Every structure is written in C-alpha cells, then in structure tokens.
A and B are shown apart, each in its own frame.
Chain A
Amino acid sequence: MDKFRMIFQFLQSNQESFMSGICGIMALASAQMYSAFDFNCPCLPHYNLAYGLGILLVPPLILFLLGFVLNNNVSMLAEEWRRPQGQRGKDPAVLRYMFCSMAQRAMIAPVVWVSVTLLDGKCIICAFCTSVPVETLGNASHPSLSQREMERVLARIPCREIYDGQELITNEVATRYLRCISQALGWCFVLLMTTLAFLVRSLRPCFTQAAFLKSRYWSHYIDIERKLFDETCTEHAKSFAKVCIQQFFEGMSTDLAATHCHQPREAPTDAEEAARKLLGITDQGTMNMALKSWHRCKPPLHLHPPALPGSNGWAGAGQAPTQPPAPRREIAAYYSRV
C-alpha cells in the first residue's frame, strides 16, 4: 500500500515533468510522422498550391487538437469552468493559468511539424514552383510561352521524371532557389517561436509572480481534490458493496440458522470496518444526493475546526501526532516541480 501511495505521489507531484515528457514524445512523433509520410506533389498548375499548403497547415491543426484531447487536465478545466458556483467562488485567473499551460504544451508538436516541413523544403517547392522568377533565373534566349503554358511547364518542377522545361529554366536552379527560400523561412519561424517562448518564460517573474504562485497552487489543488474525491468514492463503493453482499448472505442464511450459526461470529470485524468506511452513507438515495451536491455546491475552501467535545479526551489522539509526521516528511522530500 505504501509503495503504491509513493508511486502515486511521485507521479502526481512530478506531473510537470510527466507532461513535459509527453510533449517531447509528441514532438518526436510528429517528426517521425513527417519522415514516414509519402509526399507526392500532383505537379498540376492549381493543385500544387492547395496540396503543398494543405500538407503544411492541416496536420499541425490536427496535432494541436490531439494535444488537447490527450491531456487529462482538459476535463478538469471544463469541469471547473462549468460548475455551479455554490459555496465556492470561481477564480478566472486559475482557469486562465490552466488553459495557458495546456495550450503551450499542445503547441509543441505543430510547431515541430511546421519547422521540419519548412526545413525540408518539399512543400514549398511543390506549392510555389509556378511562381519562380523565370526572367532572372531562367534562360533569357528561350522563346516566350503563354502564361498558361508556362504555368503548366513550371508546375512539373517537383516531378523530375516528367519535367520538360530544361531549356526554359533548369530543374536544379529552380529547386535550389525554392529550397533556399523554404529553409530561410523555416529558420526564421524557429527563431520566432523560440524568442516567443523565451519572452513568455522570462517576463513572468518580472510582472505577475505573486498571482502566478496563487494560480499554480489552486490549479494543483483542484487536480488533487478531484483525484482524492474519486479515491474516496471508490473506497466507499467498495465498503458499500461489501456490506450489501454481507447483508444479502445474512438474509439468505436466516432460514438455516443451525448450520450457519458460526458465520456471524467472523463477520463483525469486517462488517464494523466496512460500516466505518461508509462514512454514514448507507443507501443509494443518500449517495446520489452526495454526488449531486458535490457537483452543484462544492464546499467552501474553509476548514472548520472539529466540533466534537468528546474527541479531546481520547488518550489515542495525544499519542498519534508524534508518529506519522516522520514518514510524511520523508515522502514530502521526493516531490519536485520541474
């Protein structure tokens, strides 16, 4: 149990590095996808532009949406955004923080795709081969062709086997020219994105550090609270099921009192523990009410001191605090925020 708790705490506390690992994997996956993709320029006048720009822009959009879909925190954000206010106020700064951090992580794979595409050059060569400046790069002595004819010839530049305009402009010259422009665009894009990332990261401590600490704490709190609530509900469901089944068998065995009279003697310890874990909620109606109330009216972030006078008299309460803090502190040391 301790082992599982430690692993769970490790993954939870280290969620930032877990998410960064996921981003790295998505970036590698997007580069791999590009290498595996069989790029096939149509080499026809108007289709080239559509195909080239489509391959440049549509997969990044898909990867961006995929980044949101694969992120578990999206449902947490949606829940927090749509819940009724109840006794607990909503802080838009926390919602903004959660959205921004998710969007930043989802942007990595699309940016990698666009960079790799531009640095490779095939897309731009395919999309813009009909716009090559033939006057400056081509053969000036070649007889002039009509606009449509020229476009048809130039559109075949990406397809070397069927290119028939070597006298007009050599294939290598046009390809080199377009690839140079594509790579220049690619490096400028990479530089721009890196500069933006750097500015976003370095301007934050200069301006909004206090608000940032608050938003980060509460977004982490919301995440943990949701997980702990699910855990508590699972434990409750287990105890509920145990007691329910126990009661069913007890009900069945009342007829055969002679043979089964020894069974109830074993049940009490189990039944007691299970009943304790039920936290007083012992029927479907009450449980449904509890779940509805959790959604409609989350409790305020204000812990009241325990109201019972009797608890202070217990000898057990005095001894207990000395024992657990040591293991707790040990576990606390392993948290990290990368």
Chain B
Amino acid sequence: MDRFRMIFQYFQSNSESVMNGICGLLALASVKMYNSFDFSCPCLPQYNMAYGLGIMFVPPIVLFLCGLILNRQSLVMLEEWRRPQGCRKKDLAVIRYMFASIMQRAMVAPIIWIVVTLLDGKCLICAFSDSVDPGKFAGFANTSLVQVHQLLAKVPCKDDELMRNNTARKAVSRYLRCWSQALGWSILLILILAAFLARWLRPCFNQATLMQARHWSNYIDIEQKIFEETCCEHSRLFAHKCILHFFESMQQEIKLHSSSLPKEREGAEEEDLLQGITDQEKVNKLLRTWYYEKPPLDVSKVTQR
C-alpha cells in the first residue's frame, strides 16, 4: 500500500516525468507503426509520388496531433491563455514557456518517423523512381521516352514480371536509397546539433526569466490538480451529508437525540470541511468564480490568520 502511495505521489508531483514518459511511448509507437505498416508502392507513373510523399508526411502530422492531445499540459496552457484576467495577472512568458515545452515534446515522434522512413529508403525510392535521369543507367538508356517512365515507375516493385531480372532496377534502387539515407543522417545530425546548442546556450540568455517561467508553469499545473482533488473530496462529503439528511428526514416518530448523536459529531467535522458550501447554488457560484476570477497569488493574509 505504501509503495502504491509512493509511486502515485511521484507521478503526481512530477508531471514533467509523466509527459516525458508519454513522449517516449509515442516515439516507440511510431517505430512500431512503421515496422508493422505494409508498404506497397503502386508502381504507376503519377501515383508513386503521391503515395511515397503521403506516407512520409501524413503519419507525422497524425503523430504530432496525438502528441498534443495526450499531453495534459496543453489543456492547462490553453486554459491559462483563455481565462479572464480577474484578480490575477497573466504572464505571457509562462504561456510561451509552456507552449515551447509542449511543442518540443510533440515533435519527437514525427521526427522519428521521418528519420526512420528516410533511413529505410522505401518511400523515397517509390516517390522518385520515375524522376531519375534514365541516361545514367545502362538498362534504361535505349528505350523510348514513354516506355522509360513506365519502366522506372515499376522499379520499387521487385516482383513485377518486367523488373524481375532487370539489373538496372537494382542500380536505380541503390542510387535512390543512397540519397535517402544521406538525407536521413543529415537531418538527424542537424537536429541533434540544434538541440545540443539550444541546451548549452540557454543559460547564457535570460536564465532568471526562464526559472521564473518554469516555476509558475509548474505551479499552475499543480494548482489545477489540487483544485480538482478538492472538488472531488467536496462532492464526496456533499453526497454523504445529503444522504444522511435524507434518512434523517424519514425518521419522524423516533427520538433523534439518542440515536443520532454520533452522526452529529461526524456532521460537525464534515460541516467544517464543507466550508459552508452546502447547496447547489453555492457550488455553482464557487465554480463560476474560480473560472472568472482566479484568486491573486498572495497567501500572506491566510497565513497571518
């Protein structure tokens, strides 16, 4: 029991690690999806380019949107951005920080898909096989122009009857795969360099503002979680009291004093926790006020009391 409590507390307190976990899971899911996807190039002149580039770019968009949807912080950021000002000022630096961190995490899975696609090579071979210069390859040099495009379009299909014993097909395939892998490794190198530089150079610019933004974005996240927990606890107590009162109202002829004293003791401590919010209108007003006028970030009055 204690172990569960500790794990639960860890995940709750450290929402960053939860988000990193989700990001990692999506990255693994993207590799698994690519492996299990049955890539089958149509090997027809216009369809090849559409299919190849479609497979290279549409799944990353889907993965990016999934990364945004599954990340709880994106909701928190949107709520903070759209809330009415009320008693608490809005700090755009905090919102920018949250946006940047959400975007960075959401971009990981799409980039992994694109890099894996390029390093594998099938997509680029399918998309650009009919755009290569046929003069470079001996097998295609002396066919008519119309036929050469048809033939080149069939290069990605190894089992096609025209391509089965064609040595020039392998040459085109190797050529395109070489380009594809070079592109893939270059993109990976550039991105890792960019990430490395961003991490190293960040402390040189505005470190204090960054620390403040990180602190307050963490605060907003925790505050929202605790508000939801408090609402849960409040609704549980509310329901408890409501049901008890219902049963009490059924006892009309029985003397309440002797049988209900323990309840009254319980009732007193629960009244305390309900904090005076004892009907539907008051709960609705509480929730409306929470949204329209969040309290100022100043608890000195409370602690002095």
Contact = CB atoms under 8 A, between A and B. Distances in A.
30 contacts: A6-B1, A121-B38, A172-B157, A172-B160, A173-B160, A177-B42, A179-B40, A187-B54, A187-B58, A187-B59, A194-B69, A198-B68, A198-B69, A209-B79, A213-B290, A217-B231, A221-B238, A221-B239, A225-B242, A280-B256, A280-B259, A294-B246, A301-B238, A303-B274, A306-B267, A308-B260, A311-B268, A314-B261, A314-B264, A331-B233
A190 B62 contact: yes
A303 B242 contact: yes
B273 interface: yes
Given A184-B51, A324-B269, A338 B230 contact: no
A336 B229 contact: yes
Interface string B156-188: 010111000000000000000000000000000
Contacts of A191: 58, 61-62
Given A217-B287, A290-B247, A328-B273, A10 B8 contact: yes
Range of interface residues on A (Cβ < 8 Å): 35 or more
Contact of A338 (B72, B74, B279): B72
Contact of B159 (A172, A224, A317, A334): A172
Contacts of B265: 314, 316-317, 320
B246 A299 contact: yes
Nearest to B283: A217
Contacts of B288: 210, 214
Interface string B82-103: 1100000000000000000000
Contacts, number: 220
A317 B260 CA distance: 13
Contacts of B66: 194
Contact of A301 (B79, B161, B280): B280
A217 B235 CA distance: 8
Main secondary structure of the interface of A (DSSP, over half): helix
A224 B44 CA distance: 60
Residue with the greatest number of chain A CB neighbours at <10 A, chosen from B229, B262, B271: B229
Contacts of B223: none
A176 B157 contact: yes
A137 B265 CA distance: 85
A225 B9 contact: no
Interface string A293-310: 110000111111110101
Interface in B109-152: none
A302 B283 CA distance: 10
Contact of A308 (B62, B68, B257, B273): B257
Given A201-B69, A303-B241, A325-B272, A176 B41 contact: yes
Given A194-B69, A279-B251, A225 B229 contact: no
A75 interface: no
Contacts of A328: 233, 273
A53 interface: no
